[in-house]
Structure 1
Amino acid sequence: MPISFVNRALDAFAAALCVITPALAILWVLSVPSRVGLLIYPEQMAAGMLGAAMGVVYLRGQSGKGGARAALDMALGLGSVGLGVYMFLRFPTLTEAAHLHQTEALILGVVVTGLVMEGLRRVVGWTLVGIFAVLFLYALFGDHVPGALVGRPIPLDEVLRYLGVDSTGTWGQALQIAAFVVVVFVLFGGMLIAVGGGDFFTQLALRVAGNGPGNTAKVAVAASALMGSVSGSAVSNVMSTGVMTIPLMKRAGFRPEQAGGIEAVASTGGQLMPPIMGAAAFLMAELLQMPYREIVLAALLPAALYYISVFVQIDFLARRDRIASLADFDRQRLRVVLRRGWIPVLAFATLLTLIFELRMRAEAAAVWTVFELVALGVISRAFGGAGLTLAEAGRAVVTTGRTTCDVLLITAAAGMIIGLLSITGLGFALSWYLLDFGDQSLFGLLVITGLVGIVLGLGLPTTGVYLLLASLAAPALVQLGVPQLAAHMFVFYFGMLSMITPPIALAAFAAASLAGASQLKTGLQSFRFGWIAYLLPFLFVYKPALLLDGTAWEIGYVFFSALAALVLVTGGIVGHALRPLGGAMRVAWGGLGFAMIAPLHEVAPMAVEYAVSAAGIAVLAVSALMSRRAAPRATAAVPAEPGRS
C-alpha cells in the first residue's frame, strides 16, 4: 500500500477524531448516557476525549512527514486512541478493584505517563514536563530532600498505578472541566465566527472607536475585546484581529512596536472579558464550586478598567504625538450592524438569558446556543442571508476539536502534577511555608505569588499556571483571610500576564511578527500599555468591592476612584492628557494616581483615603475645565507623524 495513501488516510482519521472530541462533550453535557440508562463515569468520557486529543496531536500533518518520524507518530497516535478506548471500557473495573489488577494498572501508568508527557512536550515545550519530572522524582526519593520538605519515598510501581487509574490524578477534575466545559465554549465561539460573528464584531468595534484621536488603535482594542470574549486565547486573537488592525495603526502614525504592543494588550485582555473569558475561568468556577455567572459578574469591573486604561493611553498618546484620526473606514450605521448581525446578537442574548435568568449550567447553555446558531445560520443561508451551511458547521466542529487538543493535554498533565503534590504531601508543606511567610507579610506573599505566576507563564499557558497556583498559593491566601474568589482571581490574572511580560511575551511576539517590529521593543510596549493589569490583582485582595463583594457604595467608590486613578497615572506616564503636562505635573499626577489606587485604609483612617480620592477627582475636573477653555485645535485635522516612545 503506498505511503501517501496511508498518510492521507491518517489525516482523515485525525479529522474524524477532531469531531469526536466535541461530540462526546455535547453528549455528556446533555446527560445523554444517563437518559438512555447507561451508567458511565465522567472519567470514562474524559479518557475517551483525551485519547482522541492525543491522537490528533500525534497524527496531524501526517501527509507532510516521512520515514521513521511518520511511523513513530502513527504508532503513538493510534496508541493514544487505543488508550482512550481501553480506559473507557475498563475504568469502572479498575477504579473499584485496582488492587486485583495491579499489573494492568502498572502498564497503564507507564503508557499514560509516556503518551501524555511526549504530547505535552510537543504542545507547550519542556516547562511543564520538567515540573512533572521534578515532582515524580520527589515522590520516589523524597526522603533524600533536606529540611522540612523531606518526604516519604513512594515505590515506583505505586506512583505509576496512581497516575494510570486514580480518579484524583490524570483523569480528575482538571481534565473533566476542560473536557466538558471548555470544549463546548470553544465550539460556541467557533460557530459564532462561522455565522458571521467576526464581521459583526469588527463593525461594532468601528462604531465604538468613533473618529477621535487614535481611532485606529481604539478599533483594535474594541475588536480584540469583542473577539477575545469569544475566543479567550491571546495569541489566536492577535493573529485574527491583528492582521487588520496593526496595518491601520501603522498607517495612522503609530510606530510598529506601539501598534504591536496595543494589539497584544487588547488581545490578552480577552481572557478577562465576559461573558466567555478564558479556559481558566471555567476551571475557577468548578474549583470554587461557584456558578459561572458569579465569576462573570465579578470579572466585569476589572475588565472594564483594563480596557478603559488602554483606551485612555491611546487617546493621550495620540493627542501628544498628533496622530491623525483616519476617517476612511467602511463604517456602517449601528442599526445596519445590528440588523446584519442579528444571529450573533440573538445567540448572545440566548446564552446570557439561559445562564442568568434560567440559571442553567454554563456549559449546557452553550450547547443549546450552538444548536440555535446552526439552525438559524442554515435557515438564513437558505433564504440568501448571512449564515452558514452544514459543511461550514462541520468545519467549525473539526476546528474546535483541533483547537482543544492542547487544552486537554495541559489539564491532564496538570492533574498528574496536582495528584503528585497531594500523595507526596509536598503541596501541604509548600502551602504551610507560604502561610508562615504570609503571617509576616501578606503583601510580600502576594508579590512572590505574582512573580511566580509570571515566571511559570513564561513557559506555560494561563490554564496551566492557574491550576498550579490554585493548588499551592490560593489556599494559603484564603487561610490568611483573603476571600476565596479574590485569591483565585489574583492568581488567574498573574497567570495571564506572562503574555505581555518580557522577555517571553507570546502575545507581544505574535503581534511583532505582524507589525514587522522588534520583539523586545514590542514586548516592552505591551508591558507599558498593560500596566494596570499588574495592579488590579492587588485591588482584588485589598479592595474586594471591585469584584462586587461589598455594598453598592463600596463598589461604586472603588470603581470610580480606580477609574480616576488610572487617568492620572496614564497622564503622568504619557506626559499629556487633554493638554501637555510639564515635568512637575507628570510627577504629581502619577503620584496622586498611585496613592488613589493604594489601599491607604490599611495604614491610615478611611477618611485619609477618601480625601486622597477627592483630591484626585478634583485635579481631573480642574484639568478638564482648563482644557475646555483653552479650546485646543482638533487632532483629526493634524497630519500624522511618527509617535514618540
Structure 2
Amino acid sequence: MSVNNIKPTLDEKKQQELMAKYDREFTFRQLTGILGKFVFIIAVIWSLWQIYTSSLGLKPPTIQRGVHVGFALVLIYLLYPLRKNDRSNKVKWYDFILLAASIGVVAYHVVNFETLLFRAGAYTKTDMIVSIIAVILVIEATRRVAGPVLITVSGVFLLYAFFGNYVPGYFSHGGYSLHRIATYAWISTESILGIPMMVSSTFIFLFLLFATYLKMTGIGDWLTDLALAIAGHSTGGPAKAAIVASATQGTISGSSVANTVGTGSVTIPLMKSIGYRSEFAGAVEAAASTGGQLMPPVMGAAAFIMTEFTELPYVTIALGAAIPALLYFTGIFIMVHLEAKKNGLEGLPKSKLPKVKELLKKKWFLGLPIIVIVYLLVKGYTPMRAALGGIGSSLIIGFINGYIDKNRTFGLKEVIKGLDEGARSALPVVMACASAGIIVGVVTLTGLGIKLSHGIVLLSGGKVYLTMFLTMIASIILGMGMPTTANYIVQATIAAPALIKIGVPVLAAHLFVFYFGIVADITPPVALAAFAGSGIAGSNPFKTGVEASKLAFAAYLVPYIFATSPVLVLVNATPLRVTFALITALIGMFGIAGGVSGYFLMPSKAWERLVLFGSGLMLVNPDIKTSGIGFILLAAIYIFQRSKKKKAVKA
C-alpha cells in the first residue's frame, strides 16, 4: 500500500475548488490559448531572471526588487479576477489597463534609477503621480491574491500617515503630505521595496521554486508513504502518519490551507476509515499542516525573513525553533494517541502498509535535496546559494527518479513546467511582502513602532504575562485571514519590540509573535486551515476549528514558556540545561494532553484533569523545583489510574 494506491477523496480539480473557497490565492483564472501561453512565458522568464540574478550577481536593490514586483503585478492582473466569485476565465479590458500601468511604473523606476537616486528627498510631481499609481496597483493586486484583510490594515496605516495630526492623544503626529507618503512608499527602499521585498526577491522565490520541484520529483508521496510505514500500524496510526507527513512537508510551504488540502485528501479519509470522528480527522490534519510552518529548517520561508529582522544567523534561528516545534507536534501526537485509546481505535494492518526498509532501499535518494539544502545552510552558505543547491539537486534526483519509476515522468518539459508553477506560487508571497512593506514604511516614517511597543508596555503596567497576553491577542487577530509572511513582518515591526522592551530575548520575542500569527489559521472564528480540513472530512467547520485549537494546545502554551525561560530556544543554554528542559517538557506534554482530552490511562474526572494539566505546565517550565513537583503530581495520577484500571479489569 502507498499513497499512489490510495484514491484521494478529492481529485485535483476538487482540491483546487476547496482551496479557492478558503484561500484567495487559489482563485486564479484557468487561461488557455494565446493568453495562457503568454502567462506561461512570463512566469518562466521570471523564474529564469531570479535564477540568473541569484547565481551571477544581484542588480541594484531598487532594480532587483522593482522588477520582481513588476513580474508579479503583470501575472496577477492576468490571472486573478476583480471579484473572487468571477469564474469566467476571461481577462477584462480594465485588467489590461492595470497590466500596462504596472509595466509603466516599474519601467519608470528602472529607467530613471540613477536620476531618482540623486534627487532622493527632492522628488518631482511626476515622481509623486507614478508613486501613487504604483501604490494603488500594489494594494489592488494584494486584494486580488490575498483578500481584504491585509489591504485593510495597510490602508489604515496609510490614512494614519496622512491624517496623523487629527489623531488625538498619544498616537498623534504632525501628518505627512501625499507627496511624501507616496514617494516614500514606492521610490525609497524603506517601504514596498524594503526588507520584506529584498527577502522575497532573493531567496524566498528560490525556496518556493525548490518546493515546486520537490513536489514534482515525488518526494511528497515518498514522505507520506514513509510516515504511513512508520506510524500507520500503531494505535490511531493514520492520524499519527498525517502528523509526521504534514510536519515534514509543511515546513517548505507557506500556506496552511494548501498543506491541509494537499496532504489531507489522503490522510483524512484514512483517519475516518478506522473510526475517527469527522471533526477530529479534519482537525488533526489542519493542526499538523499549520504547524508545518513552525518546523525548521525552512519554516515556510519565515526563518529567512527572521534573520533580517533579528540580525541573527540562520542557524541560530533554525536551532532555536527546533524544540518548540518538537513540543508542538509531540502535543498533537499525544492527543491523537489518547483519542484513539479512549475510543479503541486501532491502526492499519501492517500487511496493507508500505515497508520502511523497502522505501529506504528503493527511494532513499529522494531525501537528498532536503539534506543538501540543510547542509549548505548549516555550513554558512547564503540562503540563495543553499536554495540554488537545493534546486539543482532536486532536478538531478527528479531525472533519476523519472528513469527508475516508470509511473513518473521527469524531463525537460517538467523542468520548464516547474519554472511556471514556481513563479505562480510566489505571487501571494510577493504581494504580501509588498503590502506589509507599506505598513513597515509607515511605522518607520511616523515613529509608530516605538509608540506601539511603548503603549503595550504602559497598558500592561510592565507586567510580563499581561504584555505577552496583549501581544498574543494582537498577533492572533492580525493573523486571521492574513498570509503568514505578511503577518510575521507586521508583528516583527509592531508587537515583538514590546516583548523585547520588557526583557524577552530577541529570538524568543520574534518566535512568540510568529507562533500566534500561525495558529490564527486554526483559531475560531476565522480558522481557514480547519475550515479546509472540514471540507474534506465533511464535518462542521466551527467544531473542526475548536478541535484543532484543542489539538494545538502546545502552540498556545509553549511560547509563554520559552519567552520567560528562553533555554527552550537555546538562549543562555548549556547542554545539561537543554537536555533537562527537553526531557521534562516532553513528559509535561503527556500531562497537559491528558488534562485537555479528559483521558490519561482511562477517562479522567474533573479533579484528575486539573492535576494532570497543572503538572504538565510545571514540567514544561524548565525549573528544577517546579518540574520536580510536576513530576510527582503526574506520577501520582499515573499510579492512581493504573491501580484503578487494574481493579476495574478484575471486576
Give the TM-score taking structure 1 as reference length: 0.90
The residue number in structure 2 matching 1:391 is 413
Pair 110,372 (structure 1): closer, same or farther in 2 beyond 3 Å: same
Alignment of 1:13-412 (within 5 A): 13-30=38-55, 32-33=56-57, 40-60=59-79, 65=88, 70-98=92-120, 101-327=123-349, 330-356=352-378, 358-382=379-403, 388-412=410-434
CA distance in 1, matches of 2:52, 2:648: 62
Pair 7,309 (structure 1): closer, same or farther in 2 beyond 3 Å: closer
Pair 373,156 (structure 1): closer, same or farther in 2 beyond 3 Å: same
Greater CA drift, 624-633 or 323-332: 624-633
Greater CA drift, 379-388 or 470-479: 379-388
Pair 232,164 (structure 1): closer, same or farther in 2 beyond 3 Å: closer
The residue number in structure 1 matching 2:635 is 618
1:373 partner amino acid: S
The residue number in structure 2 matching 1:609 is 626
Task: Pick the aligned partner of 1:477 from 499, 502, 505.
Answer: 499
CA distance in 2, matches of 1:327, 1:82: 62
**Cα pair 1:49 1:84 within 8 Å, conserved:** no
SS at match of 1:440: coil
2:186 partner amino acid: G
**Cα pair 1:43 1:176 within 8 Å, conserved:** no
Pair 75,342 (structure 1): closer, same or farther in 2 beyond 3 Å: farther
CA distance in 2, matches of 1:104, 1:177: 29
**Cα pair 2:135 2:186 within 8 Å, conserved:** yes
2:95 partner amino acid: D
Alignment length (residue pairs)? 615
CA distance in 2, matches of 1:83, 1:51: 8
In the TM superposition, what whole-angstrom CA distance separates every residue of 1:289-312 from its partner, at most 9, and x where no partner exists? Answer: 222222111111111111111111
Identity of aligned residues (%): 32
2:608 partner amino acid: M
What is the CA distance between 1:435 and its match in structure 2?
Answer: 3.4
What is the CA distance between 1:574 and its match in structure 2?
Answer: 2.2
CA distance in 2, matches of 1:630, 1:87: 79
2:380 partner amino acid: R
What is the CA distance between 1:127 and its match in structure 2?
Answer: 1.9
What is the CA distance between 1:551 and its match in structure 2?
Answer: 1.3
Pair 81,197 (structure 1): closer, same or farther in 2 beyond 3 Å: farther
CA distance in 2, matches of 1:93, 1:517: 59
Pair 377,556 (structure 1): closer, same or farther in 2 beyond 3 Å: same
Gaps of 5+ in 1: 1-5, 35-39, 600-605, 634-645
**Cα pair 1:11 1:59 within 8 Å, conserved:** no
CA distance in 2, matches of 1:576, 1:338: 36
Gaps of 5+ in 2: 1-30
1:26 partner amino acid: I
1:366 partner amino acid: A
What is the CA distance between 1:185 and its match in structure 2?
Answer: 1.0
The residue number in structure 1 matching 2:590 is 567
The residue number in structure 1 matching 2:613 is 590
Is 1:579 aligned with 2:602?
Answer: yes
The residue number in structure 1 matching 2:35 is 10
What is the CA distance between 1:612 and its match in structure 2?
Answer: 1.4
2:626 partner amino acid: E
SS at match of 1:275: coil
What is the CA distance between 1:57 and its match in structure 2?
Answer: 1.2
Alignment of 1:363-512 (within 5 A): 363-382=384-403, 388-437=410-459, 440-512=462-534
CA distance in 1, matches of 2:200, 2:276: 39
SS at match of 1:504: coil
SS at match of 1:577: coil
In the TM superposition, what whole-angstrom CA distance separates every residue of 1:122-166 from its partner, at most 9, and x where no partner exists? Answer: 122222222222222222221111112111121111211111201
CA distance in 2, matches of 1:489, 1:632: 46
What is the CA distance between 1:380 and its match in structure 2?
Answer: 4.7
SS at match of 1:167: coil
Pair 98,209 (structure 1): closer, same or farther in 2 beyond 3 Å: same
Aligned-pair Cα RMSD in Å? 2.6
The residue number in structure 2 matching 1:521 is 543
In the TM superposition, what whole-angstrom CA distance separates every residue of 1:195-225 from its partner, at most 9, and x where no partner exists? Answer: 1102211111112214221111111111111
Give the TM-score taking structure 2 as reference length: 0.89
